Amino acid sequence: MGKPKAIVDEKICLACGGCISVCPQDAMSMNGGKAFVKKDHCISCAICIRTCPIGAISGEVY
């Protein structure tokens, strides 16, 4: 089983871009006006999860 990686709840994402600006691996981007995780770039550091002001990002093993 792998480490949990970031996943975005698109229903509540505000597209503020905070997660994009803090990701050390450039694993976050915008897609359709919402944050999107590039799964192959995510290193499970959880910085984006802690940064999201509304909790739209969580960790999930995939």
The pLDDT of residue 2 = 81
- H or E segment at 23? none
Amino acid at 26: D
Instruction: Kindly list the domain boundaries of the chain, sorted by start residue.
Output: 5-60
> Tens of pLDDT along 6-30?
999 999 999 999 999 999 999 999 9
What is the value of pTM for the model shown?
A: 0.89
As a three-state string, the secondary structure of 11-57 is CCCCCCCHHHHHCCCCCEEEECCEEEECCCCCCCCCHHHHHCCCCCE
> Tens of pLDDT along 25-60?
999 999 999 999 999 999 999 999 999 999 999 998
- The CATH code of the domain at 5-60 is 3.30.70.20
